[in-house]
């Protein structure tokens, strides 16, 4: 009896909480399909009387983000071009770094790890100006390459942390046995470690994808017209103020900007948890 009551309580709490989490998304979505008149006269939660996806079309292809009125589409592709190399490179580096720090430790490697780890906690605004100067010297300022570079450098600490913590959990005996069989550094990595790394690769890919896709600060500062990511486009679009603030277009645009990362979590969320379970961030 007490058990059933307990179960009911648990389910109620979970459902109410789910409601709290879904509320903003629901509000954003129904606003994006309402007409402007309805938004003004109705209230937050009122269900639209007329569903129209016109706002979505406008957000994608014709909303104004400055002098250009081409919507978010080009920004979307800029983000894609930036995110894919950024995620792949930082994950790859994190993997080999983690491998070295967990399985091939040498004198001073722990200190190096700590030094790299501190990067996780750095407030990024500190980096802006010196990074701009350096990117300028390197000739890649205001370009997608520059953005990718910045994201790789800043993501290094997190990805290294994830892989290292995970690899620490792999028994050393495995490595020793392989070495007795004559395998070297790279062979062990590709033949033994990597195949076992699926959970942590998923965690890292998801984490990096989210961070890089959603970044605004670096995007606004280190890009120019044809490399501006979608967060910058969204900001321009939403801050475009006319006497008629088009809430529906703003909300549609926000959802478009958020869609890739949301989809990643919806479809790959379970890998994320699985990867965490396997020890991504365990002490």
Partner 1 sequence: MSISAQEAHYGFTERWLPRLVLAPSFLLTLIFLYGFIIWNCYLSFTTSRLMPNLTWAGLAQYQILFENERWWVAVKNLFIFASLFIGSGMAIGIGLAIFLDQKIRGEGILRTIYLYPMALSFVVTGTAWKWMLNPGLGLEKLMHDWGFIHFTFDWLVNSEMSIYTVVIAGVWQSSGFVMALFLAGLRGVDDSIIKAAQIDGASLPRIYWKIILPALRPVFFSTLMILSHIAIKSFDLVMALTGGGPGFSSVVPATFMYAMAFTRGQMGVGAASSMMMLATVAALVVPYLYSELRGKKNG
Partner 2 sequence: MKKLKVSLLAASFSIAFSVHAADVEVLHWWTSGGEAKAAVELKKMLEAKGHKWKDFAVAGGAGDNAMTALKTRVVSGQPPAAAQIKGPSIQEWGDEGVLASLDDVAKKEGWDKLLPPVVANVMKYKGSYVAAPVNVHRVNWLWVNPELFKKANAKVPTTWDEFFKAADALQKAGIQPLAYGGQPWQDATVFEAVALGVGGSDFYKKAFIQLDPATLQSANMIKVLTTYKKLKPYTDKNAPGREWNLATSMVINGKAAMQIMGDWAKGEFLAAGKVPGKDFLCVAAPGTAAAYTFNIDSFAMFKLPNKDAEKGQKDLAVTLMSPEFQEVFNLNKGSIPVRQGMNMSKFDDCGKKSAEDFKATSAKGSLLPSWAHGMAMHSATQGAVADVISQFWNNDSMTAQQASVKLAAAAKTK
Q: Which residues bind partner 2 (CB under 8 A)?
A: 64-69, 81, 85, 88-89, 92, 128-129, 132-133, 135-137, 139-145, 148, 220-222, 224-227, 232, 235-245
Q: Is 266 in the site for partner 1 (CB under 8 A)?
A: yes
Q: Pick one of 126, 171, 182, 242: the residue that binds partner 1 (CB under 8 A).
A: 126
Nearer to partner 2, 82 or 161 (CB): 82
Residues 22-61 binding partner 1 (CB under 8 A) are 22-25, 27-28, 43-45
Q: Is 180 in the site for partner 1 (CB under 8 A)?
A: no
Q: Pick one of 16, 61, 84, 105: the residue that binds partner 1 (CB under 8 A).
A: 105
Q: Pick one of 78, 197, 208, 210: the residue that binds partner 1 (CB under 8 A).
A: 210
Q: Is 182 in the site for partner 1 (CB under 8 A)?
A: no
Q: Pick one of 5, 20, 137, 242: the residue that binds partner 1 (CB under 8 A).
A: 20
> Of 63, 100, 107, nearest to 236 (Cα)?
63
Q: Which does 142 bind (CB under 5 to 8 A by kind): partner 2, partner 1, none?
A: partner 2
């Amino acid at each position: 009896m007490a058990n059933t009551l307990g179960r009911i309580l648990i389910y109620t709490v979970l459902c109410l909480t789910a409601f709290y989490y879904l509320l903003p998304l629901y509000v954003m979505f129904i606003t994006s399909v309402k007409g402007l008149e309805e938004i003004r006269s109705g209230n937050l939660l009122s269900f639209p009387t007329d569903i129209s996806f016109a706002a979505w079309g406008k957000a994608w292809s014709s909303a104004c983000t400055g002098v250009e009125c081409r919507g978010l589409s080009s920004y979307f592709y800029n983000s894609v071009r930036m995110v894919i190399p950024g995620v792949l490179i930082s994950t790859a580096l994190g993997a080999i770094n983690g491998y070295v720090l967990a399985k091939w430790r040498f004198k001073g490697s722990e200190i190096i790890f700590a030094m790299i780890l501190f990067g996780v906690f750095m407030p990024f605004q500190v980096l802006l100006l010196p990074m701009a100067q350096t990117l300028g010297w390197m000739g890649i300022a205001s370009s997608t390459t520059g953005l990718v570079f910045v994201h790789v450098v800043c993501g290094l600490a997190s990805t290294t942390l994830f892989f290292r913590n995970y690899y620490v959990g792999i028994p050393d005996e495995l490595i020793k046995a392989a070495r007795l069989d004559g395998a070297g550094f790279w062979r062990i990595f590709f033949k033994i470690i990597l195949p076992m790394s699926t959970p942590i690769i998923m965690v890292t890919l998801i984490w990096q994808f989210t961070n890089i896709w959603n970044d605004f600060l670096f995007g606004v500062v280190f890009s120019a017209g044809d490399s501006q990511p979608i967060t910058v486009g969204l900001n321009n679009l939403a801050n475009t103020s006319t006497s008629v603030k088009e809430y529906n277009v703003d909300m549609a645009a926000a959802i478009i900007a958020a869609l890739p990362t949301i989809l990643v979590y919806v479809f790959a969320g379970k890998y994320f948890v699985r990867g965490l379970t396997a020890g991504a961030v365990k002490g």
